[in-house]
Amino acid sequence: MLEKLKVMKEFENELHAKGVKYIGGVDEVGRGPLAGPVVAACVVLPEDFDVPGLDDSKKLTEKRRGEMMTVIHDNALAWGLGMADEKAIDRVNILQATKEAMRIAIAQADKMLAEKTGGHLGHILFDAMKIDDVEIPQTSLVKGDARSVSIAAASILAKVTRDAMMVKFSEEYPWYGFEKNKGYGTKQHYEGIYAHGICPIHRRSFLKKVLGDE
């Protein structure tokens, strides 16, 4: 785990060596589900971060993600969360909604960073994404959530946050199995739609065939 941490800090270390002090890792969760928001996170870790165990959130158990969430909150210099709900996704499409959630997360992290340190983000590492209208130097890394410790931290923060939201939604809309599938298109989810129709958090643009909106 220590060796993996060393490898996952390579991009951050290269930037620190060039004089970049504050690096934000950005990732999102929830681009594929039929229901619920897309959630993005931006996390700024200290240069001397040395806690092993961070990884792509999809590779960690729910328990481990919760443990790592605590580590992130205890160690990060700053973090931010952004969200775009189903209405925004239907209005502008999932890619643009994801970028908007990321902009919010970046702005929140930068604000917290300024309040705590007086500094601002000097570089952003994205997981296979770029946002042209964010005027901060940025790098897009394919499979970045498994290659960068900052992006991995963001993926965990975003996933734990979104999963908790979907469990809460399952209490209000119990027919779809949101507490298990988190809004993805499982058999139980589709059976719930066919039996009870859609609910307010469903993405109509993702359900055109089911709704006959083609």
CA–CA–CA angle 77, 81, 83 (5° rounding): 170
**115 domain-assigned:** yes
Q: What is the spatial distance between Cα 126 and Cα 141, in angstroms, rounded to a whole number? A: 6
- According to DSSP, residue 107 is labeled H
Q: Which pair of structure tokens corresponds to residue 207?
A: 């359900």
DSSP per residue over 42-80, as a string?
A: EEE--TT---TT---GGGS-HHHHHHHHHHHHHH-SEEE
Q: What is the pTM of this model?
A: 0.95
The pLDDT of residue 58: 87
The pLDDT of residue 213: 67
**141 domain-assigned:** yes
Consecutive sets of 10 residues in the chain, 214 residues long: mean pLDDT of each?
88 97 97 98 96 86 94 97 98 97 98 98 94 94 93 96 98 98 97 96 94 71
C-alpha Rg value of the chain to the nearest Å? 18
The pLDDT of residue 25: 97
**193 domain-assigned:** no
**102 domain-assigned:** yes
State which residues form the domain around 125: 2-164
**Phi-psi region for residue 80, left (φ > 0), alpha (ψ -120 to 50) or beta?**
beta
**206 domain-assigned:** no
**187 domain-assigned:** no
**154 domain-assigned:** yes
**194 domain-assigned:** no
| Phi, psi (deg, nearest 5) at residue 125 | -105, 120
Question: Looking at the 3D structure of the chain, how many domains does it have?
Answer: 1
143: CATH: 3.30.420.10
The pLDDT of residue 116: 97
